[in-house]
Copies of this chain bind each other. A is one copy, B any other.
Amino acid sequence: MNIIKPGDLVDLNDYAPDFTGAYEKKGQTKRRLKKLHKQLLKLQELLYAGNQHALLIILQGMDTCGKDGTIRRVMAGMNVQGCDVVSFKVPSTDELSRDFLWRAHRAVPPKGKIGIFNRSHYEDVLVVRVHSLVPEDIWSQHYQQINDFEKMLVESGTVVLKFFLHISKDEQKARLESRISDPTKHWKVMESDVRERAYWDDYMQAYEVMLQKCSTDWAPWHVIPANKKWYRNLVITECIVETLRKLDMRYPEPSVDITKFTIGD
């Protein structure tokens, strides 16, 4: 299984980004995905009606790993009204002048809704660590702070699902080159993507430490094989459906006996 257990030592070389499970090609997953989307829609309605839980989905991974694509494809099976996507970019002055969890906490979904974080507070143990954007004695505290924060969210009724989209260095090269050779995709290529690629090994190390330190009983990390987009979408959708199903949600009982209502002329 691709769930990191608390205390596990993580070597990302042990996780094959090319893995596609029992499937060989995209076509084999279409029916399954369609079925999952139907279930997802029903579960999302239950989530909204019950108003007891929120679902927070956190997506992290290297540039081109497919965060945007995942959101597009997974949300295709959702009611958009019940789902908010928040992208975490370079922090603003207002954000930098508070603790790093401030902007994440502001953005958490309310009960009844699904929130998707495209990048997240984990950037503060990833890019911040790799480039020493703050001193080590500051970022090294973030792991425990994140665990405490997520624990509080979970204890308050939010389910936290964390996906690390795992692609290989070769796959990133192919995706960057494909974007560069396609003029309609040039807008997606940032100089920073190419620059950050030089820090690949540092990032892998930062991800490994993150997976080790912040995979908790209440909010474990899932390592998603993401070289094949169709398999990535399938696994993530399966995981979301499975997670919502386990909540064993019911439509709430009406507080009055509706059958006794008289509808006037």
For the complex formed, measure the closest distance between the CB of A140 and the CB atoms of chain B, giving whole angstroms. Answer: 10
**Which residues, 38 to 58 on A, are CB-close (under 8 Å) to B?**
51, 54
Q: Which of under 10, 10 to 19, 20 to 34, or 35 or more describes the interface residues of A? A: 20 to 34
**Which residues, 148 to 180 on A, are CB-close (under 8 Å) to B?**
148-149, 151-153, 155-158
Determine the residue in chain B with the shortest Cβ distance to A51: B97
User: How many copies are assembled?
Assistant: 2
Contact of A99 among B99, B102, B108, B112 (CB under 8 A): B108
- Check if A94 is an interface residue, CB within 8 A of chain B: yes
**Which residues, 109 to 160 on A, are CB-close (under 8 Å) to B?**
110-112, 138, 141, 145, 148-149, 151-153, 155-158
Determine the residue in chain B with the shortest Cβ distance to A99: B156
- Check if A246 is an interface residue, CB within 8 A of chain B: no
Determine the residue in chain B with the shortest Cβ distance to A146: B152
Residues of B within 8 A of A138 (CB): 155-156
Which residue, of A106, A108, A149, A152, has the highest number of chain B Cβ atoms within 10 A? Answer: A152
Residues of B within 8 A of A156 (CB): 98-100, 138
Q: A105-B101, A105-B102 are in contact. Are A141 and B112 (CB under 8 A)?
A: no
Bound-state Cα–Cα, A112 to B152, Å: 28
Residues of B within 8 A of A149 (CB): 148-149, 152
Residues of B within 8 A of A54 (CB): 97-98
Residues of B within 8 A of A99 (CB): 108, 152-153, 155-158
Residues of B within 8 A of A108 (CB): 98-99, 102
Bound-state Cα–Cα, A148 to B60, Å: 25
Q: A105-B105, A105-B106, A158-B99 are in contact. Are A145 and B152 (CB under 8 A)?
A: yes
Q: Which 4 A-B pairs have the closest CB atoms?
A: A99-B156, A97-B110, A148-B148, A97-B111
**Chain A residues engaging chain B, CB cutoff 8 angstroms:** 51, 54, 94, 97-102, 105-106, 108, 110-112, 138, 141, 145, 148-149, 151-153, 155-158
**Additional pairs, 15, CB under 8 Å, beyond known A98-B156, A99-B157:** A94-B110, A97-B111, A98-B108, A98-B111, A99-B108, A99-B153, A100-B156, A101-B105, A102-B105, A102-B106, A105-B106, A141-B155, A148-B148, A148-B149, A148-B151
